Amino acid sequence: MPMKSLSFLASLYLLALIFPFAIASDPNPVQDFCVGVNTPANGVLVNGKFCKDPTLATAGDFYFTGLNQRGETKNPFGFNVTFGNVDNVPGLNTLGLS
């Protein structure tokens, strides 16, 4: 088999291996938003949290004031990380942002 033909087959094989990863993506969200709450009052369990009734959602469910607060940086690395997750911002549930 000539060298050009062998390199073409190798390239084709590599492309066939990589292609499934290139088309992989998250599915479309089932709903627009799901404000995560811990109590199952009229809620549906999604991602480990119950969804609040959308008519009861407020702007505070999508807001977190902790990102502008200074953290303790007296550690060997000299920095602090503030997590923004569904426990801090309940409106992030099912949005895939945190």
Q: Is residue 23 part of a domain?
A: no
What angle is formed at CA 80 by the lines to CA 74 and CA 81, rounded to 5 degrees? 160
Task: Tell me the pTM.
Answer: 0.55
Q: Tens of pLDDT along 74-88?
A: 999 999 888 888 888
Q: Is residue 5 part of a domain?
A: no
Q: Is residue 2 part of a domain?
A: no
What is the residue range of 38's domain?
29-92
Say if residues 71 and 78 touch (Cβ distance below 8 Å): no
- Is residue 98 pLDDT above 60, yes or no? no
Q: Is residue 74 part of a domain?
A: yes
Q: How many CB atoms lie within 10 A of CB 40?
A: 10
Q: Is residue 1 part of a domain?
A: no
- Is residue 95 pLDDT above 60, yes or no? yes
Number of domains in the chain: 1
Q: Is residue 97 part of a domain?
A: no
